[in-house]
Amino acid sequence: MGVSVISFLVFGASQVGTPGPANMALMATGARFGFRAALPFVAGVALGKQLIIWPIGFGLMEVAAKVPGLFEALKWASIAYICWLAWKVANLRLGQPVAGGQAPGFWAGLVVHPLNPKAWAMIVAGFTNFVAPGTPALQATAAIAACLFALQLVLHPMWTLAGDRLARSVAGRPAERYLMRGLAFLTVASVVLVLLGGDFK
């Protein structure tokens, strides 16, 4: 009994480190407000995944099986949120002042993963593919949670810093519009691929 930690870390890195709604939001926030100003948002995004991991580990999938409409409603709420997020990203202009002048904070980051289909699909895959049958729920959930949190502590700031550095190169230039539209496209595309793949049920 137990969790295949090494294998799961490899899988988790491939998921946490690739483009998705959370990473696009982190990159856009870093690009718009700078790396340091975005750190509270980064912390919220990292901790927000825990709001999915622990309920799934302690039986949310069983509840969903008894209430089929639960994930269906969550799926459509997620789609609406991600499309709204993508629209905001597409219309950001790095050289323009923002009302209030403040980056999104911790609480804004906290809701990103609960409304992120890619995060749900990844975590469900983690429990179903890397946890041995009969493993106690607390052991399995704590291992999955610790692995993903460690990966996020490394990879999420990297996406934010990349946005910051990229913004310094394109702000106020014609390439800026294409950058922000590209980020928006990748945000929506990453969700569509997950949903079409049938991993988020």
121-166 tens-digit pLDDT: 788 888 888 888 888 889 989 999 999 999 999 999 999 998 888 8
Structure token digits, residue 129? 């593919």
pLDDT mean over 95-119: 78
Q: What pLDDT, on a 0 to 100 scale, did the predictor assign at position 144?
A: 94
**pTM metric for this prediction:** 0.75
5-51 tens-digit pLDDT: 998 898 888 888 877 788 888 988 888 888 999 999 999 999 999 99
Q: What pLDDT, on a 0 to 100 scale, did the predictor assign at position 82?
A: 66
Q: What pLDDT, on a 0 to 100 scale, did the predictor assign at position 190?
A: 62
Q: What pLDDT, on a 0 to 100 scale, did the predictor assign at position 196?
A: 60
Q: What is the mean pLDDT of the chain?
A: 80
Q: For the chain, what are the domain ranges?
A: 5-197
Q: What pLDDT, on a 0 to 100 scale, did the predictor assign at position 200?
A: 44
pLDDT band, very low/low/confident/very high, at 97 (cuts 50, 70, 90): very low
Is 53's pLDDT higher than 90? yes
Is 75's pLDDT higher than 70? no
Amino acid at 144: I
Q: How far is CA 80 from the centre of its chain?
A: 15
Is 197's pLDDT higher than 60? no
Q: What pLDDT, on a 0 to 100 scale, did the predictor assign at position 199?
A: 47
pLDDT mean over 174-199: 68
